[in-house]
Amino acid sequence: MAWFSKKQPRISRPEEDEARPSRMQGLWVKCEECSEIIYRPEIEKNLNVCPNCGHHMPWPARARLAAVLDPDSFEELDRELEPQDPLGFMDSKRYRDRLKATRKNLDEADAFISGLGRIEGTQVSVGCFLFEFMGGSMGSVVGEKVTRVFERARERNLPAIIFSASGGARMQEGIFSLMQMAKTSAAIARFREVRKPYISVLLHPTTGGVAASFSWLGDVILAEPKALIGFAGPRVIEQTIRQKLPEGFQRSEFLLDHGMIDAIVPRKELRQKLGQLLGLLA
Amino acid sequence: MAIATTYALDFERPLIELERKIDELKALSQSGASDFTAEIARLEKKAKRLQSEIFSDLSRWQVVQLSRHPARPYFLDYVQHLFTDFFELEGDRRFAADAAIVGGFARFDGEPVLVIGHQKGRSTKENMQRNFGMPRPEGYRKAQRLMKLAERFRRPIFTFVDTPGAYPGLGAEERGQAEAIAVCLETMSGLTVPVITTVVGEGGSGGALAIGVGNRVLMLENSVYSVISPEGCASILWRDGSRADKAADAMKLTARDLHGFKIIDEVIPEPPGGAHRDPAKMAESVGKSLRKHLSQLKQLSPEALVDDRYRKFRAMGVFLDNA
């Protein structure tokens, strides 16, 4: 006879990483910077900037485009593009399954949305990374969409704006991801003919193959405050030089100091500053 | 191209030991001690068999090791073999000389051309100077400058890729490593002269691609080209850099893989046992390929060259378009 008549109830396990709701989905949000607990609607009203310390939290791409572009002016294009798995890549999970899970979770096909919109009446060809989709990594779909942003701008004689937030090229698509760097940069070379500005807005974080291609080719390069921007990630650099990196290294303010970007623009001023630049250059 | 090193990879060792034995017997025969002709012939046959056994079925990780072989011919070895009248230009006009990328004008079959390549060092001292072939922003800015110069004088450009990657250092970041690479990519895509890229060893990520936007991209049989090093890939995916062999398989980074993906135009076969076993013959094959592709590209007008290159890279990528 069994010693215990009652079986232990099954311990519920936390769901897999990709399915776990992010902190942003709760009603209260804790600011990473100042630890202030803030009511979510209040933060959203404030464009995901901490009302207490001004820390710029991640801002979902669709919310960003809706707020930066003229109301209801965004027309999304290239929605039909879907990623494939040309290498049959597998790590702890098949890339194919990872894509499927992420897509189900976020209701987005890949890490970039793009189309046409207006800023203070000026039409622009625009695109924005979804960092939450596999770290905003660039595979074939992202590369193709970025390329089309510039092709569209060239055909229609429009300025181009790209908001970047990406860990770099997507490992799971191997060499195809690497080649997107050349493809997108070549598209920019062609776009330059039309003499319209390309404004690149660097968000936290922008590194690797995205930083080292179209993101750093802006006629004007803006960055949000304290965004991490660079070629190699801080961990890789620390391992290489075997010492801790100085405070603020690779942050927007550091890049501005070194002449590597043109201005730091707080989120609240982004729309107005973009409008001003377009007025001056487009 | 005498490359003095006795270094041998694990899987090369049985072959190299056998060859050493053959050499010893030959020396003994010559000294007249006794006649080993039959034995030598037998061992030579065995060596040949062993070589084809080892090299007919290399794993991707073995190819990675060959691509990094310390005795593998480097860029300047090819310059010495294939070009004459080489004049190195070292200045980036911005900050510093970077010996990890070497560039200069030279003659190819008598015709003036620009050659640019990553350069690794043979000795520890030279590797310090050349930073193991890992360029800083200055190297890329020098490359940009030289390529614009070549364009102005209508000189075809040959680039040779062989780098673990762009250097991930403090100063490199401060001086805009990402920007330097990005501008290289844009500059190359707009060049109105023929550009032929040959990956001769390691094609390490953006630092390799920065001088790799050619009308033609060729790879030596045992060279590799990837978005991240196998070690880097393994340490991200499995938090364990020692599983690089697995990562190499997952990324499919050999010349043959890339040719299958239509990313590169040609795989240049290596001499039996790899490029380092016969650098002169290797250079000869490279020269033959360069000659062939250059003569094809010379048929194109400046505009057609830009178009040709654009179309080539524009077509890269695999995705589903449901439109």
**What domains, with CATH codes, occur in chain A?**
27-57 (no CATH), 58-281 (3.90.226.10)
Interface test with A, best of B173, B184, B251, B264 (most A CBs within 10 A): B173
**Which one-letter amino acid corresponds to residue A260?**
M
B263 contacts on A by Cβ (under 8 Å): 175-176, 179
Which of B245, B319, B320 is most worth mutating to test chain A (most A CB atoms within 10 A of its CB)?
A: B319
Decide if A231 contacts B181 (C-beta within 8 A). yes
Q: Choosing among B186, B231, B314, which should be mutated to test the A contact, i.e. which has the most A CBs within 10 A?
A: B186
Question: Residues A62-68: what's their mean pLDDT?
Answer: 96
Rounded CA separation B210/B217 (Å) = 13
Which amino acid, residue B157? Answer: I
In this prediction, residue B37 carries a pLDDT of: 86
User: Å from B144 to nearest chain A CA?
Assistant: 14
State the maximum Cα–Cα separation within chain A, in Å, rounded to a whole number. 86
C-beta of residue B290 within 8 angstroms of C-beta of residue B216: no
Domain boundaries, chain B: 10-57, 64-314
Helix B177-189, helix A174-191: angle, nearest 10:
70
The chain-wide mean pLDDT, for chain A, equals 92
Which residue from B minimizes the CA distance to A169?
A: B227
**Can you list the alpha helix ranges (DSSP code H) found in B31-136?**
37-56, 60-67, 75-82, 124-130
List for chain B the helix, strand, coil content (%; round to 5): 50, 15, 30
| Cβ distance of A236 and B212 shorter than 8 Å | no
A176 contact residues in B (CB cutoff 8 A): 261, 263, 316-318
Both structure tokens of B230: 């196998």
Which of A81, A87, A141 lies at the smallest CB-CB distance from B252? A87
Other C-beta atoms closer than 10 Å to the C-beta of B4 total: 6
Phi, psi of A261 (to 5 degrees): -135, 170
Place of tokens 């979804």: A130
Among A143, A177, A185, the residue with its CB nearest the CB of B185 is A185
Is pLDDT of A24 > 80? no
Contacts of B320 in chain A (CB under 8 A): 81-84
Residue A19 has pLDDT above 50, yes or no: no
Put simply, whether A179 touches B (Cβ < 8 Å) is yes
| CB-CB under 8 Å, A237 with B173 | yes
The secondary structure of residue A13, as a DSSP letter, is P
Contact list in A for residue B233 (CB cut-off 8 A) is: 171
* B232: chain A residues, CB-CB within 8 Å: 236
pLDDT band at A10 (very low <50, low <70, confident <90, very high): low
Going from the C-alpha of A36 to that of each of A40, A48, A50, A53, A58, the distances in angstroms are 12, 13, 8, 9, 16
pTM of the model: 0.93
CA atoms of A131 and A170, how far apart (whole Å): 12
* Domain B64-314 belongs in CATH node 3.90.226.10: yes
Any B CB within 8 A of A164 CB: no
- Report the distance separating Cα A244 and Cα A234, nearest Å: 9
Q: How far is B162 from chain A (nearest CA, A)?
A: 16
Half-sphere exposure of B223 (CA within 13 A, CB side): 33
8 Å CB contact of A241 and B169: yes
> What are B205's two structure tokens?
């990520």
Q: Do A182 and B181 touch (CB under 8 A)?
A: no
What secondary structure does DSSP assign to chain A, as a single string? Answer: --S-SSPPPPPPPPPPGGGSPPGGGSSEEE-TTT--EEEHHHHHHTTTB-TTT--B----HHHHHHHHSSTT--EEE-TTEEE--TT--BSSSBHHHHHHHHHHHHS-SSSEEEEEEEETTEEEEEEEE-TTTGGG-B-HHHHHHHHHHHHHHHHHT--EEEEEEE-SB-GGGHHHHHHHHHHHHHHHHHHGGG---EEEEEEEEE-HHHHTTGGGG-SEEEE-TT-BB-SS-HHHHHHHHTSPPPTTTTBHHHHHHTTSSSEE--HHHHHHHHHHHHHHH-
Asked whether residue A1 carries a pLDDT value surpassing 60, the answer given is no
A87 in contact with chain B, both atoms CB, cutoff 8 A: yes
The reply to whether residue A213 touches residue B261, judged by beta carbons under 8 angstroms, is no
pLDDT per position in chain B (323 positions), as tens? 445 456 889 999 999 999 999 999 988 888 877 788 888 999 999 999 999 889 988 999 999 999 999 999 999 999 999 999 999 999 999 999 999 999 999 999 999 999 999 999 999 999 999 999 999 999 999 999 999 999 999 999 999 999 999 999 999 999 999 999 999 999 999 999 999 999 999 999 999 999 999 999 999 999 999 999 999 999 888 888 789 999 999 999 999 999 999 999 999 999 999 999 999 999 999 999 999 999 999 999 999 999 999 999 999 999 999 98
Quote ipTM for the complex. Answer: 0.95
A213–chain B Cβ distance below 8 A for any pair: yes
CA-based nearest residue in chain A for residue B231: A236
The torsion angles phi and psi of A104, rounded to 5 degrees, stand at -65, -40
At residue B297, the pLDDT reads 98
Q: Is the peptide bond before A60 cis (omega within 30 degrees of 0)?
A: no
Asked if A209's CB is within 8 angstroms of B206's CB, the reply is yes
Nearest-CA distance B173 → chain A (Å) = 6
Q: Decide: helix, strand or coil at residue B39.
A: helix
Indicate the residue of B176, B209, B321 with minimum beta-carbon distance to A181: B209
Exposure string over A52-82, b if 16+ CB within 10 A, otherwise e:
eebbbbebbbeebbeebbbeebbeebbeebe
